[in-house]
Amino acid sequence: MNLSAANLDFYQPADSPVHRLAPRVKVVWTLLFIASNLLIADGAWPAFALSAGLALFLSILARLNPARIFRRSLVALPFALAAVTVIFSTAGQTLISGQVGVWRIVVTDTGLWRFTGIITRSWLSMLGVILLTATTRFPDLMHALRHLKLPASLVAIISFTYRYFFVLNDEAIRLLRAREARSARLAGTGGLGGSVRQRARVAGYMVGQLFLRSYERSARVYQAMLARGYRGHIQTLAPHTIAPADWLGGGLGLLALILIQLAARRLPF
């Protein structure tokens, strides 16, 4: 376990038109991008390809590494696999059938199309979220949510959850370093000494200590934030105004989504 701030913070600083766009515009456009993917019919692969191409274009425009963005977007696929049951529960033409114990398994063409559509939508939506977090600083993102009238308590919960990830990470690294310093190793091996039961007891003790130490440190962090002027929301130096360039960028993004929806309804698939 070797987490770092670079692994927990997705923001990648750069001087690009996407980075300079107002956070509120990017948040609204990301939500519209997700909604656009949900409205695309199953099997409309040209429209899905256009959405993926739009995300790729924006990542290049933002001077991000498309390969890195793609790898991070794959995190959505394991969760989307929960929809695998639609392959067997959707009526349609039978492609594969078989008997598994007392159950008869039937794979239909409609179910397969629907499942691949769910996977594709989940992946594209994750691409949009990653582009948002990679081009928007977290405090600015929280301010955008406040300006968009998201409940203040919910914004505060998201903000503290994000910040205390780093607190938890620091405490976990300290505990692991202490365990490494106090654990005997067999000569010529890289494993820790002791039986499986002993190591399980140490791991349980570490989890308890991690909870207590993180709780105590989070209280100190909160008191320090109050002493520095925290009043329920994070202050930033950004003006948080929407300039004409932001309206233009948002309009162009909306136009692109409209064209994708028109393509989804007119292109053959």
pLDDT digits (tens, 9 = 90+) for 133-171: 999 988 888 888 888 888 888 888 888 788 777 777 777
Residues 127 and 19 reside in one and the same domain: yes
Q: Is the domain of 110 the same as that of 210?
A: no
In terms of domains, do 255 and 127 share one?
A: yes
pLDDT band of residue 13 (cuts 50, 70, 90) is: confident
- Tell me if 200 is assigned to some domain: yes
Give the integer Cα–Cα distance in Å for 207 and 172. Answer: 9
User: Is position 207 within any domain?
Assistant: yes
Query: How far is Cα 141 from Cα 121, in angstroms, rounded to an integer?
Result: 23
Task: Compute CA 10 distance to the chain's CA centroid, rounded to the nearest angstrom.
Answer: 9
Do 251 and 131 share a domain, yes or no? yes
Residues 121 and 191 in one domain: no
Task: Check if the beta carbon of residue 25 is closer than 8 Å to that of residue 140.
Answer: no
Assess whether 110 and 125 both reside in one domain. yes
Number of domains in the chain: 2
Give pLDDT tens digits for 81-131.
777 777 777 777 777 777 776 777 777 777 888 888 888 999 999 999 999
Q: What is the mean pLDDT of residues 200-219?
A: 76
Residue 126 lies in a domain: yes
Instruction: Give the structural domain span for 193.
Output: 150-235
Task: With beta carbons less than 8 A apart as the criterion, state whether 93 and 108 touch.
Answer: yes
Token pair 């067999």 in the structure block, residue: 186
Residues 85, 198: one domain?
no
| Residues 26, 109 within the same domain | yes
Residues 225-259: tens digit of each pLDDT: 788 777 766 666 666 788 899 999 999 999 999 99
- In a shared domain, residues 54 and 106: yes
Contact 257, 36 (CB under 8 A): yes
Q: Tell me what pLDDT residue 132 has.
A: 92
Nearest to 98 by CA among 109, 90, 107: 107
Indicate if the pLDDT at residue 180 is higher than 80.
no
Same domain flag for 108 and 127: yes
Residues 62 and 25 in one domain: yes
Percent of the chain clearing pLDDT 70 (strictly above): 86
Q: Is 259 contained in some domain? A: yes
Domain assignment present for 1: no
The pLDDT value recorded for residue 247 is: 92
Q: Cα separation of 63 and 61, whole Å?
A: 5
CA distance 160 to 218: 10
pLDDT at 188: 46
Alpha carbon 31 to chain centroid, angstroms: 13
> Residue 203: what residue type?
A
Any domain includes 189: yes
Domain membership of residue 187 (yes or no) is yes
Has residue 188 been placed in a domain?
A: yes
CA 97/CA 109 separation, integer angstroms? 12
164 and 191 together in one domain: yes
